Amino acid sequence: MTVNEQPRRPRHLMDPDNPVRPVNDKSLTRVQQWVMSVLAVFTVAHLAVGMVIGAVAIDPAFQSSRVGLCIIAGAFGVLGLAGGFLIHRRSPLTPWLALGLLPALVGLWIVLR
């Protein structure tokens, strides 16, 4: 080995002098959108279900509070699904939004029976 030669860098390490070709940004963006929308929808769905569980756990003497929490849970569910559609740059006004009302309807059925 001569004095001017640098040792070869192993292939699995990044070489700042020789950057790797760019990644296909379109497919990466698509994956990021799906991951972000799934995380957003399921996080908000857990919040809505938690509010319904809280409504069921409240003392039955506070019936209006129980119903109010179920209604708020429905609003969160609808907004969570709308957020998922907006992440994909689609119109949030779709029949799928009715699915966001499901936790609230189940909660109201439990609370009001």
> Is 59 part of a structural domain of the chain?
yes
> Is 3 part of a structural domain of the chain?
no
Three-class SS of residue 97?
Answer: helix
> Is 21 part of a structural domain of the chain?
no
> Is 43 part of a structural domain of the chain?
yes
Give the per-residue pLDDT at 80.
96
pTM: 0.75
Which residue range forms the structural domain that includes residue 49?
35-112
21, 37, 38, 54 from 80: Cα distances, Å: 37, 9, 10, 19
For the chain, the 3-state helix, strand and coil shares in percent, each to the nearest 5, are 65, 0, 35
> Is 7 part of a structural domain of the chain?
no
> Is 87 part of a structural domain of the chain?
yes
pLDDT in tens, 25-68: 777 688 899 999 999 999 999 999 999 999 999 999 999 999 99
Give the per-residue pLDDT at 3.
64
Give the per-residue pLDDT at 25.
72
> Is 2 part of a structural domain of the chain?
no
**Residue written as token pair 């429905």:** 74
Count up the domains in the chain and report the number: 1
How many CA atoms are closer than 13 Å to the CA of 59, on its beta-carbon side? Answer: 2
Instruction: Give me the mean pLDDT over the 19-26 stretch.
Output: 70
